[in-house]
Structure formats: C-alpha cells, structure tokens
Structure 1
Amino acid sequence: MVKAETYEGPGAPVELAEGCILGIGNPLLDVSAVVPTELFEKYGVKLNDAILAEEKQMPLYEELVKDYPVEYIAGGATQNSIRVAQWMSQSKGATGFLGSIGQDDFGKQLTKACTDAGVAAHYYETTEQPTGVCAVLIHEGERSLVTKLDAANCYKHSHTKSEAIQAVIEKAKIFYIASFFLTVPEGPETIEAVAKHAAEESKIFAMNLSAPFLIDFFSEQMNKALPYTDFVFSNETEAETFAKKQGWDCDLAEAALRLSAMPKVSGARPRTVVFSQGAEPTIVAFNGTVTYYPVPKLNTDLLVDTNGAGDAFVGGFLARLAAGMPLAECVRSGHYAARVVIQRSGCSVPPQPDI
C-alpha cells in the first residue's frame, strides 16, 4: 500500500526525560572549506560521497588549512544527529554521546562544543592517537567528506562496562548509531551489546546505513546489526546501494518495504525504514505501508551547505520519536531540522528552533 502525506511545519518542543537519547559513534572535528573541482580531482574524491582517508588523501588536511579559509565544527555523523536532537528538544540533558577522542586540544574543543550544545559527552579518552578529523569539501552547495578516524578508531568496548556508562545505558530509551562505527575495531562488539540490551528491555535501537562503501565493504558487520534495528535511516544513494547488495531489482519504495520486513530480533514493534531523498519526498515504510512525505521547498538562493542535512533530519526525527509523537510528526521535525542546517555552514544551528 502506498499513500502520500501532506502536513504543516513542526510544533513546539516537547519536554524529554534526562538521558533518554544516547548516540554511539565517531566524534570528529570537521575542517570545512569551499573548494574548486580541481581539489576533488587531485585527491580522487567524488561529490556527495563519504570515504575514509587513504594514503593519497593524507596531504589534503594540511592543504585545506594552508590554502583555504576553513571552519572548525564539532562533527561526526552520530554526534551531529545527537546535537540536533538536543537542540530540537530544548530539554536539558535529554541526550548523551559515547565515542573516543584524543587527549589533545582538538579533543578539548570537541568536548566543549558537545557540552555547550547541551549534550552529555561520555568520551573515552585515548593517548594512542590524536582526535579524529573530517575534511568537508564544499562546492556549489554540494559536499563530500574525507574522514581520518585516528582516536575515534580507538574506542574500547570495555568503556561501556564501567559503572558510570552502564548507568547511562540503563537510563536511555533510544539508541542511535551511524554505520560508520562499524569500521572501528571494537565498534561491532559495542553495537551488539547495546542492541541486545535494547531488545531485551523493549527499547528503541536505530541505525543509519550512512555511506555506500559501508554497505559494500562492511556488509558482514552491518548484517549482524540489522536484525536488532527498530528504525533504519538512509539517503537515496545508500538505499539504492543496499538494494543492489541484496540482489533486489526494485524501486526505492519496494526496497524500503523489503528492508522493513527483514528478520527482526525484537517483537516489541515493527521495523520502520526511512529513506530521505534531498528535496524529493521522504519515503517511510512501516507495517506493510509506504508513505511519501513531501519536503517543503527551499529557494536555492538560500542553500549554503548540504553537509549534515541527513544527520540533522535524523536528529529532528529522534527528538519527536522520544516524545512519543506519530511518524508524521517525526518526519516533519526531521524536515525542519534539515532545512535549518542547509541554510548554514556545516551542521550548525541557531540558539533555538523557530517552531
């Protein structure tokens, strides 16, 4: 069954319980700059893509800082979503984040940015590597991400076993993880433990497919996590890659339905699949029905930077989900958050949502 949904903008924030949303992922410092197409060609980077830096991309970071006006923004896909969820909720201490940073100035800067945003930063600090960075290359409103994980790659599963972090996990009602965390050596083990807890306690476990290369090269790890998911997020490119990987010859609506019907550990609720498509309608598959949610149009003159739009959508969505709102309200909130972010540089927000 397929239907279309029309609706107005999101309503006012709803008070959320302390620590109810917990993200686990790779905290990164975004180094963002507007660059020419020649830089993409020089480093073998494609527009609208996200990759882990290889040896040939290592000089990119120094060149960005040296030759272009850069902005430093607290980043990492999951951390972005959690910051936006906190902003949308306007509820003190509603969100928290787990991840690994270095004991350096960038790590201090990330901690301050996270805390200033109202998110409880439960970082694991390592001396093995410096804090991870992500080069955000912007060209005519489009962007590509080149990530150097460094300290983010050093997260230890033992961190989640401490008494303090166990208390954080017990308090959370919604867990959100972007699939980038699957690349961390102890990431899959951490994901599995948290996902099992969520299933046993009938809590919500949400995951993002995040990038085509993860679907292609980390499919084993992803396939182990997917049965625990109550919500799966993806953009259209990732959705197409996932469908192809599964051997499905179908459109995105059918792919969303098939993904929603894949085996699931917890029977507490049906799986919801959300495919965003930029300015095109968002596809939501739930309980055998696909619904298209139109995206409010934005004058292209107002578009500044698409970096973080997908992360912002998830953050807005989770803020309403944590408040027990229906799917239409969650999508509406996601659209609003993404709309705000793409009119700014990086995944940044004004002091308060204008809703």
Structure 2
Amino acid sequence: MTDATLDVVGIGNAIIDLLAHADDSFLTEQNLAKGAMTLVDEDTAERLYAAMGPVTRASGGSAGNTIAGLGSLGAKCGYIGKLKQDELGAAYRHDLLAAGVHFTTPMASDGPSTARCMIFVTSDAERTMNTYLGACVNLKAEDIDAEMVAAAKITYLEGYLYDEPHAKEAFHRASDIAHGAGRKVALSLSDAFCVERHRADFLDLIANRIDILFANESELLALFQTEDFDAAVERLKPMVEIAAITRSAQGSVAIRGDERVESPAARVERVVDTTGAGDLYAAGFLYGLTQDLPLAECGRIAGLAAAEVISHFGARPETPLREYAGLD
C-alpha cells in the first residue's frame, strides 16, 4: 500500500448556505417548521430568499463543513460534490480551492442550479433549514475521482446524499476504491429522518462497506428502532471498527471493539447557532484518527471543534481550530 497523500476526502451535497436571523413570527408567516430541515423546490427557494433579511453566504453542506473543519485543524483534504456552472457554483468552488482543498468534480453546464440552504436562526439558537438540492443530487459514480479517493486515509460519506440511486452507486464506487487501496471509509448518518427513509439500506451499507460511523443519539436509536441507547451501542459494535455518537449536553461516546470512551461536552459561554455542530464534531474526530491519536483525544478535539462552531453564527469555524484545540 502506498503512503496516503491526503488525510480525508469528503463526498456530499455541495450546498451554499444562506443564513439570516429571524423571529418566530417570521417562521409562522412563511409556514416554516421551526428546528426542522425541509426540502423545497426552486420556486419556494426563490420566494424564501426574497423574504430573507440581510444574508450571510457560506459554502456549506454537511461533508463540506467537515472538510472545512479538518482544514482548520491542519489536515490535507479533498472534496467531491456536484455544482452547476453558475454564480453560486463558482463561489463554492472558489471557497474550496482558497482553503487548499483538492476539488476536481466536473461542474454541470445544464440542468438544475447549484444547491442552496436557507437557514433561519432564531434567538434561542434553533436553526430552521429549507434546502433546495438542485445540482448536488446529480452526483454520479463517474464523478468519483478514483485517484483522490485512493490517496486518502479516510473517505467520508454524507448520509444526506443517499436519496438518489445514482448517488448510492457513487457511494459504493468510492468505498470499493478506498478499500481496494487499503484505506478506511466513514459514514455520517446525517439526520434521523434520513435514517428512517433508508434504514434497511443504511444497515446493509454499514455492515458491508463502512469502517467508521458517526451518528447522534436520535439517529442511532432510529437505526435500530429502540429507545435503549446502550442496547443500540451493543448492536452497533460488531458492525464497524469505530463509532462516535454525540449526545448533546451529555457529550459523546466513542467505541472500538470493547473499548468505550465517554467524552464530556466542551464548555460554551453562549450557544449562538447550532448549525454544523455534528459536522465539526466529525472533523475533530477524523483529524484525531488520521493522526493515530487515542479515542479520548479524538473525542476531546471533536468536542472543542463542535463548541467553537456553535458559539457564533454559521457552520464553519471562525477561530483556527488547531489553535482552539491547543494542537500548536
């Protein structure tokens, strides 16, 4: 096996985040389900965008946020995601390249426009997301850069992308390439509703193609259709090499065989916006794994990365995470 030249390659929905503050009355007026992620069509996306107040624009998507966090920690990364050759697509591509991320996915010249997520953040730090998936769901197996995947220690798959048959084929091709090169494959379950839609497929994917699993408690319970957290952990243990499960204020649990490490939640002065907490947790944990650090240290870095991102507006770090986690 040749030495890896990248730490992590992320594969996911390439989405531009459009963030704005809002109050509960605005959500009611627009008939938005507070705290939920709702898929919308292009007409609804245009209507909501027109109704938003001042907007903060940022390249996002779950795996994209994780890759940005890894870059802030000093990791070498690549990204695979589908964009349209339009204004938002050009902005997304620019942000990746400016951050030193390897990006080679061909941009679409026709079809749906670049995906966007309109995120309304209320004063209680809840985020209400309305997502137009657009071009990002058109990622196909032929878009997977085999050389990039083979060069990465870990290929990180975003569960949100699993809705389309051709996206599933892309996941399978990427995992086959990674394992053929002697690398590892990680999966984020992304969302409990996503788990409920794809439970059988996810169980098969995890058992046969995944080495490292990321989930929050509700996603894990949905996967095994139980309310017993410890029972779900026991069922998961033989299926993957490593699992990292977040539990909000209770911190997180990492397992590797019979090893179980519980990490407390990192202290935050004030929670401003919970967008990206799970994505940045994964970034910190993956960084630790690629540096061969103990699970406890992986959990510590992950918790700090999540704490940094929820302390401000937006889903990507404002303070360099390497400094924030005391790695320098």
Q: TM-score, normalised by structure 2?
A: 0.89
Q: 1:351 to 1:108 in 2, by over 3 A?
A: farther
Q: Tell me, in whole angstroms, the C-alpha distance in 2 between the residues paired with 1:36 and 1:350.
A: 24
Quote how far apart the aligned CAs of 1:351 are: 5.8
1:133 maps to 116
Q: Tell me, in whole angstroms, the C-alpha distance in 2 between the residues paired with 1:254 and 1:283.
A: 14
Is the 8 Å Cα contact of residues 136 and 144 (structure 1) preserved in structure 2?
yes
Q: 1:190 to 1:130 in 2, by over 3 A?
A: same
Q: What is the 5 A alignment of 1:180-259?
A: 180-227=160-207, 228-244=209-225, 248-250=226-228, 252-259=229-236
Q: Tell me, in whole angstroms, the C-alpha distance in 2 between the residues paired with 1:237 and 1:42.
A: 29
1:111 maps to 93
Quote how far apart the aligned CAs of 1:21 are: 0.9
Q: Tell me, in whole angstroms, the C-alpha distance in 1 between the residues paired with 2:230 and 2:297.
A: 20
- What percentage of aligned pairs have identical amino acids? 24
1:274 maps to 244
Aligned residues: 318
Equivalent residue of 1:305, what SS? coil
Quote how far apart the aligned CAs of 1:60 are: 5.1
Task: State whether structure 2 residue 155 is matched by structure 1 residue 178.
Answer: no
Q: Tell me, in whole angstroms, the C-alpha distance in 2 between the residues paired with 1:133 and 1:249.
A: 34
**Is there any run of 5+ residues in structure 1 with no aligned partner, and where?**
1-15, 263-269
Quote how far apart the aligned CAs of 1:312 are: 0.7
Quote how far apart the aligned CAs of 1:88 are: 0.7
Cα-to-partner distance string for 1:242-266 (whole Å, 9 max, x where unaligned) = 232xxx352x23312211223xxxx
Q: Tell me, in whole angstroms, the C-alpha distance in 2 between the residues paired with 1:169 and 1:220.
A: 26
The one of 111, 128, 132 equivalent to 1:144 is 128
Q: TM-score, normalised by structure 1?
A: 0.83
Is the 8 Å Cα contact of residues 117 and 130 (structure 2) preserved in structure 1?
yes
1:8 maps to none
Quote how far apart the aligned CAs of 1:199 are: 3.1
Letter in 1 for 2:158: A
Is the 8 Å Cα contact of residues 273 and 310 (structure 2) preserved in structure 1?
yes
2:258 maps to 288
Quote how far apart the aligned CAs of 1:206 are: 0.5
Q: 1:44 to 1:271 in 2, by over 3 A?
A: farther
**Is there any run of 5+ residues in structure 2 with no aligned partner, and where?**
none
Q: Tell me, in whole angstroms, the C-alpha distance in 2 between the residues paired with 1:331 and 1:222.
A: 24
**Mean CA deviation greater in 59-68 or 176-185:** 59-68
Q: Tell me, in whole angstroms, the C-alpha distance in 2 between the residues paired with 1:159 and 1:213.
A: 27
1:59 maps to 44
User: Could you say which structure has the greater relative contact order, defined with CA pairs below 8 angstroms and 6 or more residues apart?
Assistant: 1
Quote how far apart the aligned CAs of 1:235 are: 1.5
